[in-house]
């Protein structure tokens, strides 16, 4: 499994703690240190909607200009925006068996998956 996120994000911390407590093996990818690729984002968007992948509740979203927010409505420009501002991606992103398994963290979702 792979877990994508930002180490200091409280939701990512909860997911990592849960995985560790349940002896689940995973590789962590820090959005800030390990650059995401356009191909990876495209793959995720093939598996989920743009509305689910973009985190509209965070400070990064709120600090965007109106033009940037408008560009997030289109897959092509939204990918570019997420590449330059990875904090826009809902966290954490859990990949299991090569597929996007879960966005965000809830104990119930992780229990059902794992």
Query: Rounded to the nearest 5 degrees, what angle is found at the Cα of 39, between the Cα atoms of 51 and 18?
Result: 60
Q: Could you confirm whether 102 is annotated as catalytic?
A: no
Q: How far apart are CA 83 and CA 104, in angstroms?
A: 19
Written as six digits, the tokens of 47 are: 């598996």
Q: Which residue has the tokens 């991606």?
A: 89
Q: How far apart are CA 12 and CA 28, in angstroms?
A: 10
Which of these is catalytic: 3, 5, 9, 78? 9
Q: How far apart are CA 70 and CA 29, in angstroms?
A: 28
Q: How far apart are CA 69 and CA 59, in angstroms?
A: 13
- The residues assigned a catalytic role are 9
């Amino acid at each position: 499994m792979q877990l994508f996120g930002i180490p200091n994000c409280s939701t990512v911390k909860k997911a990592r703690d849960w995985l560790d407590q349940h002896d689940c093996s995973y590789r962590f990818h820090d959005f800030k240190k390990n650059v995401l690729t356009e191909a990876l984002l495209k793959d995720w968007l093939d598996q989920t909607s743009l509305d689910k992948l973009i985190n509209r509740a965070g400070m990064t979203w709120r600090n965007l200009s109106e033009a940037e927010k408008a560009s997030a409505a289109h897959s092509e420009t939204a990918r570019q925006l997420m590449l330059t501002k990875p904090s826009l991606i809902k966290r954490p992103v859990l990949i299991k068996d090569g597929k996007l398994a879960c966005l965000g963290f809830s104990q119930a979702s992780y229990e059902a998956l794992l």
